[in-house]
Amino acid sequence: MATATPHHSATANGDPKLLIQQPPPPLPNFLASIKLKHVKLGYHYLITHLLTLSLLPIAAVAAVHVVQLNLDDIETLWRRLQDNSVAVTAVGSAVVLAIAAYLMARPRTVYLVDYSCYRPPEDLKAPFATFLERSENHGGFNPSALEFQRKILERSGLGEETYLPAALHCIPPAPSMAAARKEAEDVIFGALESLFKSTKLNPKDIGILVVNCSLFNPTPSLSSMIVNKYKLRGNVKTGMGCSAGVIAVDLAKDMLQVHRNTYAVVVSTENITQNWYYGNRKSMLIPNCLFRCGGSAVLLSNRPADRRRAKYKLLHVVRTHYGSDDTAFNCVRQEQDDTGKTGVTLSKDLMAIAGGALKANITTLGPLVLPISEQLLFFASLVTRKLTGTKTKPYIPDFKLAFDHFCIHAGGRAVIDELERSLQLSGEHVEPSRMTLYRFGNTSSSSIWYELAYTEAKGRVTKGNRVWQIAFGSGFKCNSAVWEAVRAVKPSESNPWGDCIHKFPVEIKA
């Protein structure tokens, strides 16, 4: 473990991530390429509309011939069709059957009807002074560990209004199984109540339930807790998401392809009551400074009738897993320190592993979302490098041509900074992630939903906009979800930014 100044952490689905190296290895420069902006935009427009432009001459010639037809020509054409009625009927039947087969075989569209992010009560706010006071009164931290946490807070990108669960507000903290379950109930039921209220959904209409939470898995399970609370029907399909909110969405999407005309609810949260680290190993103290209380509930549907009230439709989910690599597998690991206290150790290799996972993920995602112009440029660059044997940098596609909004997991300031630089994103592109980290802290797998809620609260989502949600997790994983707005999206009544969005964005100290 390097002993340099800690650089911040990034987490996903309860998997905190630490950057402790000097200097931190940067993510790849994904967009170190063409600067002829206007030429590129012109080329992009030409290639995007190439099919339309090529069909124009054909359409013009056909139109001229149709205009020149007289009544005798039309009558002659009709007689020829009558003389070949068997062939016409056979061709027509084949076309109808082909269309029917296509409609039956194509994947069902998955709509995001609405979602809700939990906002804890005001008495659970944990400004820096309160956080440090609780740490000092615990008595388990030595002066070096306390000073380390203070410095991390100052550089973390978090604000003074994040939340900690009730058990960690006690002096001394009082973590227990009962307190952890109480935190889970407050967060999960709070998010679900808001979701049911905004969508007017009867819980008994839910056919699929997915819950993801990695660090707290009680018996009975969290999904069983929801079934019991809302008395869901006996044949509800339930399951535990394993890595992050994106994986939970993917699982729900797959199940919606099998079960017709049903609703799926995805609940994403993390529980920190029993996962607070009370030791002095600095590599395990970062999660204490960044993790905060939060959660989300998302309503998905494959019912065609829900398109009219849905906010988004799901276009793609891409999951990349680096678990076969030992270094990647061990870069985020829950274990005990030398004194027997449990925490999460974060490796100095974390940033490099995250960069590799991200490259693999966007390499898979690119062909699905990028305009053909960008794909042709990338392919031409690749072929040129192969034929000439040069080691010039390959052309890296511009993902800003594919997406209008970016929801980068708010695990830590460092990862947001690196993705902003590497993908050459604007300040507005990463604003939702920065402000979510500032206002709510790292809420694990639910952070991408707080970010989308921020974008909606700002009134930035219009019909046809594409949203890219990017999440990281231990193991090591990088997951992406792509949504398209089916209408101009207005924030829900339960939007967690509703009464404070006018205060944002705020300036964050360097």
Binned at pLDDT 50, 70 and 90, residue 254 comes out as confident
Among the listed residues 7, 8, 409, 429, the single catalytic one is: 409
pLDDT number for residue 17: 41
pLDDT number for residue 106: 65
**Residue 142: closest CA among 337, 274, 350, 347:** 337
pLDDT number for residue 295: 95
Please give the C-alpha separations between residue 192 and each of 189, 200, 267, in angstroms, as whole numbers: 5, 11, 8
pLDDT tops 70 at residue 359: yes
Instruction: Please provide the average confidence, as pLDDT, over all residues in the chain.
Output: 83
**What's the predicted TM-score (pTM) here?**
0.79
| List of residues 6+ apart from 228 with CB closer than 8 A | 220
What is the rounded average pLDDT of the residues 145-174? Answer: 92
Q: What is the pLDDT of residues 77-135, one digit of tens each?
A: 777 777 777 777 777 788 787 777 766 666 789 999 999 999 999 999 999 999 998 88
What is the rounded average pLDDT of the residues 389-412? Answer: 83
Among the listed residues 13, 280, 302, 321, the single catalytic one is: 321
For tokens 């194509």, name the residue. Answer: 106
Among the listed residues 280, 442, 479, 495, the single catalytic one is: 442
pLDDT number for residue 190: 97
What is the rounded average pLDDT of the residues 379-402? Answer: 76
**What is the percent of the chain with per-residue pLDDT over 90, rounded to a whole number?**
42
DSSP conformation letters of 372-441: HHHHHHHHHHHHHHHHH---PPPPPP-GGGT-SEEEE--S-HHHHHHHHHHTT--HHHHHHHHHHHHHH-
pLDDT number for residue 358: 86
Binned at pLDDT 50, 70 and 90, residue 27 comes out as low
138 in active site: no
pLDDT tops 60 at residue 178: yes
Binned at pLDDT 50, 70 and 90, residue 12 comes out as very low
Cis check: omega of the bond before 175, within 30 degrees of 0: no
Q: What is the pLDDT of residues 275-289, one digit of tens each?
A: 889 999 988 998 899
pLDDT number for residue 176: 92
409 in active site: yes
What is the rounded average pLDDT of the residues 238-245? Answer: 51
**Residue 465: closest CA among 387, 378, 375, 400:** 400
Among the listed residues 405, 429, 478, 495, the single catalytic one is: 405
pLDDT number for residue 10: 41
What is the rounded average pLDDT of the residues 365-369? Answer: 85
What is the rounded average pLDDT of the residues 407-423? Answer: 88
Binned at pLDDT 50, 70 and 90, residue 428 comes out as very high
73 compared with 14, residue with greater pLDDT = 73
pLDDT tops 60 at residue 189: yes
Give me 233's structure tokens: 């029907």
pLDDT tops 80 at residue 16: no
| List of residues 6+ apart from 349 with CB closer than 8 A | 327, 331
pLDDT tops 60 at residue 39: no
Binned at pLDDT 50, 70 and 90, residue 52 comes out as low
pLDDT tops 50 at residue 15: no
pLDDT tops 60 at residue 2: no
pLDDT tops 60 at residue 268: yes
442 in active site: yes
Highest mean pLDDT: which of 255-259, 293-297, 412-416? 293-297
Q: What is the pLDDT of residues 466-502, one digit of tens each?
A: 999 999 888 788 899 999 999 999 999 899 999 999 9
pLDDT number for residue 38: 42
CB atoms within 10 A of CB 386: 9
